[in-house]
Amino acid sequence: MLASTFERLATLFASPKAASPVARRWRMAAKDQPALKDDVLSLGGVMTSQAYERIDGVPQLSPIDPYRLAYEAGRRDFALQLAALMDVSLFDLKSLMEDDDE
């Protein structure tokens, strides 16, 4: 988990020293507003499944649109970077996904 957090943050900041004050602000915001983590992950599309359509009543994956895929990947990546700043762990993500399934 620690390595993946640093990898995500490395794409945003030139050095860990530059990331420290930003991460501190996001952690404080997440502590003050616990629903912020859920909002960021939801708005970023992290919790959504792949789109599908029904053909003759059978679910089929939607045709691949490279522009849509790139856009959604960028949204998810940015949301995960913000989540990393808020110290959201892989365990937290798994818990949130299980809560959504219920």
The alpha helices in 1-65, defined as continuous H runs, are 2-10, 16-32, 35-43
Domain residue limits at 40 = 2-101
Q: What is the mean pLDDT of residues 50-55?
A: 79
Q: What is the pLDDT of residue 3?
A: 46
Q: What is the pLDDT of residue 77?
A: 87
What's the structural domain count of the chain?
Answer: 1
Name which residue leads in pLDDT, 36 or 101. Answer: 36
Query: pTM here?
Result: 0.64
Residues 2-49 have pLDDT tens digits of 445 555 556 566 677 777 788 888 889 989 998 898 888 888 888 777
Rounded to 5 degrees, φ, ψ at 87 are 65, 35
Query: E-strand spans in the chain?
Result: 52-55, 58-61
